[in-house]
Structure 1
């Protein structure tokens, strides 16, 4: 790579000019030792102690210079007062990456920790707090605040002036470290707003896709941090598809996966990295601009230290995000590299975590690789109560954690074991031994609520300090430790489904689209979000079948005539048009519009058009449509039923089914603004520090009318449903009587579960009242009234309006033309004579009192559905405002869809309704089973649920224990294979993408063979998935698990959260049994670090 223009490392370190680098520059990058003091470079180690002392006085002067520089105009002033542009850019990049890395780590920590500092927020509800998070950004000038903070620096804004052990074992002064929370938060806001990362693209069919693309499965093993980082990064709003807008460039190769690729192996990694960088530098211009200084990669395996030996520019210029980072390891450069915490995801709850089983006072095991550890060994090595072991343990590491009340965390020089995470997982209270330590996310995590901080100098007093902690205080600490571990029984993956992986790639010879197209297909799509999404999948499949060119379809719900923003066309109002075209370039040819010579003929209706049924067969298109397409070169399709091709295709058309999956789960990506806001909503939900559940009620007027569920509601809502049902009968959509028994329909499962019933089911499963529930519904028929019981049981019920500000929601709609005003006119006031005349004619006599004043007439009584149903009894045509609101619902449904797919748990209120129409919940459930089949997705049988509620209708809030167990058994079965098979039988005939198995999935090796289930027609419903390719297998093998299969309920499962129902005693209550789960130590875990 002789053509590359690299910056020498010596110049970057300040050695070229002969001037030592300012310590503040290093501090600004956020690179500090675990003790909180800056780690000096080699030339800084040679500096005198007076240099360190002078920096405190220099800081305020530096701040004033920065302010003056910020107030000057012109390039000359900037050049005089600021460091060289390349050098400033070099230090800005690691700082920004460190902030971005912190955000991604926060997502992980917040999803597994409950220990946020509630003392800051106890006076507010979660919806209020989440709305506060979305407050608008205020521009901020760091220079001005540095000047304002200059005086505060002298008054104690620096770190506490406590001595800290340095790398040579001597105590050093760290008082020059500047900490300002306000400046950090403002920088953090700016980063979240504008920071962008470009990822070098690679296709799914790339021969090294296993090492270059993020894993679709849930990461596991020692190097899970690397996979989690890549997976979260790729879904974050930091990613941009425009490299010209990028601040950083991500090299997406995985050292851990390259290591196990038989084509590469350990010996070939260096050659692979060298060749990869060579290709990147010659194909793209971005590497050569900085010699890779604005590029970064992630490496959690220790071999990553030597993997760059044949790519010096990567080694010395690019930013490493590494797990085994240390200031004292070769290859780690403190002023540019960043640390990623190492984690080991667990799939099982460990054995009994009660404090009564812990006989040791404290425990530590590790290598003697720091002065602090030497001190700990010297004092406590032979103590009978504090087990301080150095070297390899003779007993299992997990056993020692489970048998100790406190677990010691002592600064070392290498990171191989996630001790904090280990101690939390095994219920051991962490004791952090450090004089000064920047605890991660201390602004939002209340560390004192679950850990003990002990100064290094107090090591000799360690036993006294720990014994002085009272029993009540210890129980409080350990209780908070246990809360930090999510309840696997409520939130963990479904084990029998963990072997299923998404795999929609073509299996056989799959030619690219033929240049000689048979013609163009244009389409008009009617209907809401669900119908649009399923119809587009069918259109692409038909275009492939007919070898036709697809014109971007017109979505009638979002045309300009509906009052949407002029910034968008119909398709681009909802979806990313460019991504849609690019993603399917190997499947079909897609164009934005017809050629100019054909547009005029289309306007004159010269081309034939078809209105295919949802169940149209491939033969219909081959025999009826294809001949006319070849003759006229253009045909039109008008689709209003939510699809235009039958769901179940012949076995020899499996590739067309996989094409449907590629469209639904890869190509149909929402436009960037929707994607960004949707992922922000997920981030805000996870920021509360606990998993969340998404719930879609399915209370839509059309489906309620179709199934005759009017009597489940009250008053005017019954009339609204019946009016719509009457219209459906006139159009022959419904072939039944107008008035039917809604309660019988409910009992046979035709009506939705009401929100109150869903709340009772969730309580029976053990979900505590603090559970965060996201309400995914652009329309909830019945309004807030039907949600009152659910909100009473789960106060943390939030929706998009709770998570987003009004400005965010309006911005995503774009600028819209104001609609003409229709001011409400109150009825004219009656004159005195009119009132007197009315008085004479009214009522029997005598009347001792005058009539009361007339009730005021409000605007809502004369407008909307309330107005027409009380006045005329006939529903008017949709107004301009109604049409615009329908278009807005597409956006709200898209946001809800993103959150529901990403949710830890999903609960549908109404799916598989039998109408044949696509429904929101079925789309979400299909996406979740494709992307992560083991994610917790409930699939309740509404008929069974109705029977259960009929058994205890008078005591639903105080059910008997047997009833609670029955609910748990049913819902847990719905999570697992049994529920998935039932879902296939009910949903797949109506909507393929609601259950894309087995065509769009594969299986990795598993301890248990899958159950093979065939339908009445002989087709495989479940268990017929082929084996995953080798590149998908490594590191994702499903471990042998002998405990706690889904679908089996144990009485002690609710003990972790506590029962949320007041159960009545049973006369035949059986004895309770405890099942001890075996936790095995990770074979690569190294507590001897």
Structure 2
């Protein structure tokens, strides 16, 4: 039996583990080893975290920091060895999304729509994407003002050249798709959008009707130009019009709501309206999907290039680089004769140096090759008629022979229904661009912003936005002989690391601008609906 309290060191197995008294030198050495190992572990963890933080910062850079990082490009060197082939995943894969996903469900505070005897009629102005975002705004405005929305009329303006255009003095026949409203011609909603689906999808948000009740067709109405980039408070005040009118007519729909500082439920309603409810009409949707399938069957992956090298765009921006004197004069006359374009005198050289011009077809070709895309890449041209035709397109085709247009994908019979209906053909371009592996706009217009925003919403699909100002400097050095084309990848690729559609919060107003003018400088809500409609939680998922 073992007696409690007794202890025999020599017989105990624990004796061998008893520490021996260390010398001062050995103790110092042990402390030094522990310290060195701790430093090693710290540096290892710190370096890993720093790399991860750097990646996150590159993705979520604010506007000022991002522009600074882009301007610090490598020094230009002549005759650099061409960069090695870039892995396919780097060329084609979407940026890392950090688990972000669409979130457009209403919050718990959101209430279902109620019937209203107050009506809002809308004339939606501009081109296809200006009309689309304007309609989404009007859905939100109708919600704020407790109004029943009458299906908007779509504006058809001078450069959309629809086959159903007639002069203002033409008669309006019953059953035709064209009606007159004041001095502007408009087209019915169902020509471009799925009207019944639009009404059905938003029935929990607002009440929508196809036309005014008969008894209100001749009733007096308030004709209103809503303030641009207005707040919810503005529309709450505007509800005073209901005291005197039962119908409010909205003359313009574009940019009627602020980009920022709106309730999250209003922002998500805008996203539900644009990305869910405002579906194109069945014929457009059907053909658009067929064309995407044909592109895939031809070459698998493809770039959708929104090439804004069209006559009206070049005339409007005053960009004449690379054109002949007669072409430049033609664009100048066009600008002077277009009354609603306010700026008539434009310095084309300064405009291009400032990055305010669309890239030319040649410049786009050089840019894409510098990014690493091989000459075999399939490129779909999403655009109207290219100014100068094959004369300028040949400079793009020489670098990328696999160029595709609607006319080469669809049959004549398929396109006949859309002939001269520019809004509908633009809708086909929109579908193909949203579904592309990579989207590249040569200019930051309404189409480019709308497609980029939609692609962000769908999972931050790869969208490469050219740094036109930085590229112009490079192109000019290339043309003057200061640079060789083989050196371009080392300049162009670092310049565009943070311009490929990775997640980031929407830019606010430009610094130093005060008053209402600052709203114009904000990034469009529809260009980047993060964070209101893109989340990293499952609570309000799509």
Q: Is the 8 A contact 2:231 2:258 kept in 1?
A: no
**Which of 217, 220, 229 is 1:615 aligned to?**
229
Q: Indicate if the aligned counterparts of 1:503 and 1:1002 stay in contact, CA closer than 8 A.
A: yes
Structure 2 CA distance for partners of 1:974 and 1:699, relative to 1, 3 Å: same
2:254 to 643, 667, 673: 643
| Shift in Å, 1:945 | 1.4
Paired residues of 1:523 and 1:637 also in contact (CA < 8 A): yes
Residue 713 to residue 982, structure 1, CA distance change in 2 (3 Å): farther
How far is the alpha carbon of 1:489 from its aligned partner?
Answer: 1.5
SS of equivalent to 2:218: helix
1:638 shift after superposition: 0.9
Q: For the Cα contact (< 8 Å) 2:125–2:254, is it kept in 1?
A: no
Match of residue 201, structure 2, among 583, 590, 601: 583
**1:890 counterpart (423, 428, 431):** 423
- Take 1:621 and 1:898, find their aligned partners in 2: how far apart are those partners? 33
- 1:55 aligns with none
1:247-258 equivalences under 5 Å are: none
DSSP-derived class of the 1:600 partner: coil
Secondary structure of the corresponding residue to residue 769 of structure 1: coil
Aligned counterpart, 1:537: 136
Aligned to 2:485: 959
- Within 5 A, what are the aligned runs for 1:249-648? 487-495=88-96, 497-515=97-115, 517=116, 519-557=118-156, 562=165, 566=176, 570-601=188-219, 606-623=220-237, 625-639=238-252, 643-648=254-259
Q: Map residues 16-415 of structure 1 onto 2, 5 A cutoff.
A: none
Distance 1:611 1:699, change over 3 A: farther
Is the partner of 2:249 in helix, strand or coil?
strand
Output the CA distance in 1 between the equivalents of 2:367 and 2:282: 37
Please provide the CA RMSD for this pair. Answer: 3.0
Contact map agreement 2:124 2:153 (CA 8 A) in 1: yes
- Cα offset, 1:702, TM superposition: 4.4
Secondary structure of 1:993's partner?
A: coil
User: What CA distance in whole angstroms lies between the structure 2 residues aligned with 1:621 and 1:982?
Assistant: 24
CA contact (8 A) 2:123 2:154 kept: yes
Partner of residue 810, structure 1: 416
- Helix, strand or coil at the partner of 1:704: helix
Aligned to 2:494: 969
Relative to 1, partners in 2 of residues 1:779 and 1:549: Cα closer, same or farther, differing over 3 Å? farther
C-alpha contact 2:102 2:541 (8 A) present in aligned 1:
no
Judge conservation of contact 2:506–2:525 (CA < 8 Å) in 1. Answer: no
The secondary structure found in structure 1 opposite 2:439 is strand
Contact 1:518 1:630 (C-alpha < 8 Å) held by counterparts = no
Q: Residue by residue, what CA displacement relative to the aligned partner does 1:1049-1088 show, whole Å, maximum 9, x if unpaired?
A: xxxxxxxxxxxxxxxxxxxxxxxxxxxxxxxxxxxxxxxx
Partner of 1:903: 436
In 2, the alpha carbon distance for the partners of 1:973 and 1:555 equals 37
**1:184-212 CA-partner distances (Å, limit 9, x unpaired):** xxxxxxxxxxxxxxxxxxxxxxxxxxxxx
Deviation at 1:696, TM superposition (A): 0.4
1:550 is paired with a residue of what secondary structure?
A: strand
What's the offset of the Cα at 1:967?
0.6
2-structure distance, mates of 1:493, 1:981: 17
Whether 2:539 is the aligned partner of 1:1029: answer yes
1:903/1:498 CA distance change after superposition, 3 Å? farther
Partners of 2:257 and 2:110 lie apart in 1 by: 22
Instruction: Say whether residues 1:764 and 2:370 are aligned partners.
Output: yes
1:732/1:557 Cα in 2 relative to 1: closer, same or farther (>3 Å)? Answer: closer
Q: Secondary structure at the match of 2:498?
A: helix
Partner SS for 2:120: strand
Counterpart secondary structure, 1:688 = helix
Q: Per-residue deviation at 1:531?
A: 1.8
Question: 1:960-980: CA deviations, max 9, x gaps?
Answer: 43x3212111223211548x5
Q: Higher RCO, 1 or 2 (CA under 8 Å, sep at least 6)?
A: 2
Aligned partners of 1:1031, 1:732: CA distance in 2, in Å? 43
Aligned to 2:458: 931
Distance in 2, matches of 1:777 and 1:1002, equals 33
CA change 1:542–1:976 in 2 (3 A) is closer
Q: Would the alpha carbon gap of residues 721 and 1002 (structure 1) be closer, same or farther in structure 2, given more than 3 Å must change?
A: same
Larger Cα-atom Rg? 1
Q: 1:984 offset after TM fit, Å? A: 7.0
Q: Once the 2 structures are TM-superposed, how far is the Cα of residue 567 of structure 1 from its aligned partner?
A: 7.1
SS of residue in 1 equivalent to 2:359: coil
Find the partner of 1:781 among 363, 379, 387. 387
Alignment partners' CA distance in 2, 1:981 and 1:782? 39
Paired with 1:976 and 1:561, the residues of 2 have a C-alpha distance of: 38
Note closer, same or farther for the CA distance 1:941–1:808 as it changes in structure 2 (3 Å cut).
same
The answer to whether residue 389 in structure 2 is matched with residue 797 in structure 1 is no
Per-residue deviation at 1:662? 0.9
Indicate how the Cα distance of structure 1 residues 906 and 985 shifts in structure 2: closer, same or farther if over 3 A, else same: farther
User: Which residues in structure 2 correspond to 1:780-859 (within 5 Å)?
Assistant: 780-812=386-418
1: distance between equivalents of 2:392 and 2:227?
Answer: 35
- Offset at 1:784? 3.3
Query: Corresponding residue for 1:659?
Result: 269
TM-score by length of 2: 0.73
Alpha-carbon distance, 1:983 to partner: 6.7
User: 3-state SS of the aligned residue for 1:974?
Assistant: coil
CA contact (8 A) 1:556 1:570 kept: no
Q: Decide whether the 8 Å contact of 1:546 with 1:621 is kept in 2.
A: yes
C-alpha displacement of 1:595: 0.5
What's the secondary structure of 1:975's corresponding residue? coil
State the 1:944 CA deviation.
Answer: 1.4
Matched, 1:752 2:365: no
- Is this contact kept in 2: 1:704–1:710, CA < 8 A? yes
Preserved CA contact (<8 Å) 2:506 2:530: no
Is contact 1:513-1:586 (8 Å) kept?
A: yes
- Once residues 561 and 803 of structure 1 are traced to their aligned partners in structure 2, the CA distance between those partners, rounded to angstroms, is 25
1:943 aligns with 2:453: no
Partner-residue secondary structure (3-state), 1:719: helix
CA separation of 1:981 and 1:704: change in aligned 2, threshold 3 A: farther
Quote the Cα distance in structure 2 between the aligned partners of 1:744 and 1:992.
Answer: 29
- Partner Cα distance (2:286, 2:509) in 1: 36
Cα distance, 1:756 vs structure 2: 0.9
1:1048 is matched with: none
Change beyond 3 A, Cα 1:976–1:622: closer
Shift, 1:622, TM fit: 2.8
TM-score by length of 1: 0.37
**CA contact 2:505–2:528 (8 Å) conserved in 1:** no
